[in-house]
Structure 1
Amino acid sequence: MLKAILDELKRSRNFVFSVAFITPSAIALLKQALLDYRGMGTIITSTYLGFNSPAAFRELLNLDGVDVYVYPDSAAGFHAKGYIFEQESSTTAIVGSSNLTASAMLRNQEWNLRFSALPDGDIVQQLKRAVQAHMDASTNLTRKWIDEYALTWAPQPQAFQGSTSVELPGDELPMGRIFPNSMQVEALAEIQTLRDAGESRAVVISATGTGKTILSALDVRAYAPERMLFVVHREQILDRAIDEFKRVLSAPDSDFGKFVGSKKELDRRYVFASIQSLSRPENLRAIEPDAFDYVLIDEVHRAGAASYRTLIDHLEPAFLLGMTATPERTDEFNVFELFDFNVPYEIRLQKALEADMLAPFHYYGVTDYIKSTGEVIDQVSDLSRLVASERVDHLVSTIEKYGHAGVPVKGLIFCSKNAEAAELSGILNNRAVHGRQLRTRALSGKHSVEERELAVQMLERG
């Protein structure tokens, strides 16, 4: 259904959607096509059953060039599901069971009929009369209307699907025991198969957000090493990794130690260290090559750096496991060769999305700002041009266009220079998005771990 609508938008000069139920996720699926649309668009929807959220109405209002009408509850129940596209010499309509929701567009079993007719045909005239009747009974969507609707609207209760009884683990399992998901079960089995074959190195590719830290902790639990070393590239990651391992291993706090900065807890069973601290010659000399029988390197695509190579060459664990979401590199270093080309398992992004391991997302590509002179402003431009007011206007308008309408914008901006980040932050703090003042903060490697953690907490709290 999504493909059918996108195809019709490309070849039509006007469209009318008359649909009872609309969700923000469906608007996101069509947003770029609607923003690119050069014809006239009309959407008629309703407040029937309170299905449409204020967020959906705000997204509709945020669409340039699309007139939106709301059919009142006081009239007969509005349950329409029709999509009409007018071409130069014909009219095409799709009528059936699909509302404008992501599920109806992509997954649901729906019945829809698409047909075309000449402009003066009787069916086209019937469609026009039906649309006009809906519009005559409706009111124009405005910001004031949405604000009033939001005061009384309540989310629909979600029905529980499935059995009301839940089977719990047996009493013999410790409290808080973590169980692998289906993909992790498969990955753990493949890693073990590789070890059973006598291999001592492996790299697992696990897309961001699929739980690679938990997966590695589950493998450590299965391996039960005498001592384990967990290596990361940034101190910030250590505490979170320790928390995850504690959840999985159910071991006492005294078993866990850190080797970073002034902390030198090398005598613990499970040691979590930063590569910066480990790779210092005086620290590395203090570690016996066979001190750890299990070594785990996080974000191992960084292992081409001299610090990692020095560490890996020094240590002699019984098993070395690398974890990464991005093994492909542009510097010609071969991560796979480092691990004897042993890749027992891959959880790539597409596979993780299909397995519902990740929240679905919509990705929009936005062009660089181009001055009226034709000059492209990109990351190699002078700082004065990178933070030019016109470019900031372009950035803010883009956020308004593609961000969530009606709610405070939250996000991350990656800059090519620390100076650009600092100056851009200052300028943005004097701007507003959808009438709300922006509050940004520039961060770099110069800031302490505490400052960065605080900034992350502030972002999470809004």
Structure 2
Amino acid sequence: MKLRLFEEWEFHRNVMVQMPTGTGKTHLLAAIVREFLRGSGSRVWIVAHRRELVDQIEETVSRHGMSKEDGRVRVMSIQWLSRNRKDMYEEPDLIVIDEAHHALAETYRILWENYPEARKLGMTATPCRLNGKGFMDLFDSLITSWTVAEFIGQGWLSSFDYVSIRANSREQRLIDSLKKRGADGDYQVKEMNEVLNRETSIGRLYESVERYAHGKKGIVYAVSIAHARRIAACYSAHGLESVAIDSRTPASERKELVDDFRRGKVKVLVNVDIFSEGFDCPDVEFVQLARPTLSLAKYLQQVGRGLRRSANKESCMLIDNVGLYRIFGLPARNHDWAAMFEGRMIGNALSRAR
């Protein structure tokens, strides 16, 4: 992949790379940066969309022999860069954008406007958008890696078991009743919370974990902060030590809770869009989907958290309590990333050509 990228840079300045979640994008990123600095490059910026990802990338980059103290590599969040860009007088030779499916946001576009001479590298597992917009006004070309199925076959990703609710189940009928959409085109959070944040529904979530993932540690994706806290309380009341993590959880507390999860002190992390991207914990043994979505990117990012390999994990149990299987198929299904990158196909439930 690294060789393919440098060959592509012979013809195009701005390139996007697609690799499935859990296949080592950050390590590839670090290897590319190191190779770039060995050549003609003297300064690299790596831009992430959340502070937690900055810390993770810095750690990986340092393991590849590049210390942030030498000043050649800077890792920053897009929010920090937006606030401080005018105070930064050096110009980068390369800008790497992590989770580059966010790059269509206006905050990222200033990187193209203000640093037109810098090469751009976008890294993502899902080069698609729910609104169907392509990326070709920012990136000149797309390089794709093996598929999820190929990575599993080669032993780079974990195998998985998948269970989902029945098409005629009460839960599926509740989800089918959702009519409102948010600004991003996905289900409206308020309506989802009203419909799904109920004692009976949460009880069935627990029953699913008890039946299919008894004794395992895992991640639950919830609809809202209230939903996440209610799920965690229910699971804990049944003796399954669980905590809820959301955007309001202080960073220090969040780190402590994740460390407790890694050590096994906490069995279940219930989150709201916190661990959809960049969460690196290979020994996740189950993922429970309790949040409906129309976004292919969100679906693949969530199930992908369970597909990282670890020494003691034979496979990952994926528990789909919101019927996403009937919308997107299994996680190993192939996708036409080139069509979505070019804006010819919408990255949503229908995956239809435009």
> TM-score when scaled to structure 2?
0.64
Question: Which deviations, in whole Å up to 9, do the C-alpha atoms of 1:271-313 show, x marking residues without a partner?
Answer: 0000111112xx222234x611011000000011111112332
The aligned runs of 1:322-401 (5 Å cut-off) are 322-340=122-140, 342-367=141-166, 383=193, 386-401=196-211
1:190–1:345: 8 Å Cα contact kept in structure 2? Answer: no
Aligned counterpart in structure 2 of residue 206 of structure 1, from 16, 19, 23: 19
1:461 partnered with 2:277: no
SS at match of 1:208: coil
1:392–1:428: 8 Å Cα contact kept in structure 2? Answer: no
User: May I ask how many residue pairs the two structures share in their alignment?
Assistant: 249
Aligned counterpart in structure 2 of residue 272 of structure 1, from 56, 69, 75: 75
Where does residue 319 of structure 1 map in the other structure?
Answer: 119
Deviation of 1:218 (Å):
1.1
SS at match of 2:203: helix
Relative to 1, partners in 2 of residues 1:449 and 1:336: Cα closer, same or farther, differing over 3 Å?
farther
1:245 partnered with 2:55: no
Aligned equivalents of 1:253 and 1:371: distance in 2? 53
Relative to 1, partners in 2 of residues 1:327 and 1:385: Cα closer, same or farther, differing over 3 Å?
closer
What is the letter of the counterpart of residue 69 of structure 2?
S
Aligned equivalents of 2:68 and 2:139: distance in 1? 31
Where does residue 434 of structure 1 map in the other structure?
Answer: none
Where does residue 446 of structure 1 map in the other structure?
Answer: 248
1:300 partnered with 2:100: yes
2:48–2:97: 8 Å Cα contact kept in structure 1? Answer: yes
1:188 partnered with 2:9: no
1:383–1:420: 8 Å Cα contact kept in structure 2? Answer: yes
The aligned runs of 1:246-261 (5 Å cut-off) are 246-248=62-64, 250-252=65-67, 254-255=69-70
Deviation of 1:228 (Å):
0.7
Aligned equivalents of 2:49 and 2:42: distance in 1? 24
Aligned equivalents of 1:352 and 1:301: distance in 2? 21
Aligned equivalents of 1:240 and 1:324: distance in 2? 16
Aligned equivalents of 2:221 and 2:67: distance in 1? 39
Deviation of 1:347 (Å):
3.5
Aligned equivalents of 1:317 and 1:294: distance in 2? 9
Aligned equivalents of 2:43 and 2:157: distance in 1? 32
1:422–1:442: 8 Å Cα contact kept in structure 2? Answer: yes
Deviation of 1:192 (Å):
1.3
1:191–1:345: 8 Å Cα contact kept in structure 2? Answer: no
Identity level (%): 27
Gap runs ≥5 in structure 1: 1-186, 256-267, 432-436
Aligned equivalents of 1:352 and 1:375: distance in 2? 35
> TM-score when scaled to structure 1?
0.50
Deviation of 1:326 (Å):
0.4
Aligned counterpart in structure 2 of residue 424 of structure 1, from 222, 227, 231: 231
Relative to 1, partners in 2 of residues 1:311 and 1:393: Cα closer, same or farther, differing over 3 Å?
same
Aligned equivalents of 1:369 and 1:451: distance in 2? 41
Give the stretch that moved more between structures: 201-210 or 308-317: 308-317
Deviation of 1:382 (Å):
7.1
The aligned runs of 1:112-261 (5 Å cut-off) are 187-197=1-11, 199-224=12-37, 225-248=41-64, 250-252=65-67, 254-255=69-70
